[in-house]
Amino acid sequence: MSRQKYIGVIGAGECDAEFGRLAEAVGRQIASAGAVLVCGGMGGVMEATCRGAKAGGGTTIGILPGPDRADANPYVDVAIATGVNEARNLAIIRTADALIAVGGSYGTLSEIGFALKAGKKVVGLRSWDVKGIVPAATAEEAVRLAAE
């Protein structure tokens, strides 16, 4: 797995049905692309993306904020319990080769900024409009751009 591409997905811990479908489609495309999904392993966008990746036969890594691996959503294959709360966001970004931001809370903005600082490609799907983000219109396009 270490030799596969790792694509990170960042987004809110709660999301409505529409963003859930979008995140799930992103996960499915990541699996189709033969990449490993890295995310925060919790609910909302993270859970929807993991569900999509597993439906597509992919592998999922969840880097959790809390101290207990059991808190991961049920679609996480490899759960990492950090216990450092939001500081785990930096490990998600450092572990991923490229990132896809789905939607746009402030937590996601913080991760986008850190990823761009670290020189990683960040693709945005209905996310923040900041200089440096590569916008995509669909899940398929987002994954294609991230996997390049």
In one-letter notation, the amino acid at residue 104 is G
Least separation, in Å, of the C-beta of 37 and a second copy? 12
Least separation in angstroms between residue 74's CB and a second copy is 8
When the beta carbons of 32 and 82 are compared against a second copy, the nearer one is: 82
Q: What angle do CA 112, 101, 105 make, to 5 degrees?
A: 75
Q: Is 53 exposed, middle or buried (0-12, 13-18, 19+ CB in 10 A)?
A: buried
- CB closer to a second copy, 29 vs 60: 60
CA distance 30 to 54: 10
Give the Cα separation of 86 and 90 in Å (integer). Answer: 8
Binding site for a second copy (CB under 8 A): 1-2, 6, 36, 61, 63, 67-69, 72, 76-87, 90-91, 94-95, 105-114, 116-118, 128, 130, 132
Q: What's the CA dihedral at 10, 11, 12, 16 to 10 degrees?
A: -140
CB closer to a second copy, 14 vs 138: 14
Specify the residue, 33 or 80, whose C-beta has the smaller distance to a second copy: 80
Q: Minimum distance from CB of 140 to a second copy (Å)?
A: 26
- DSSP H or E stretch at residue 12: none
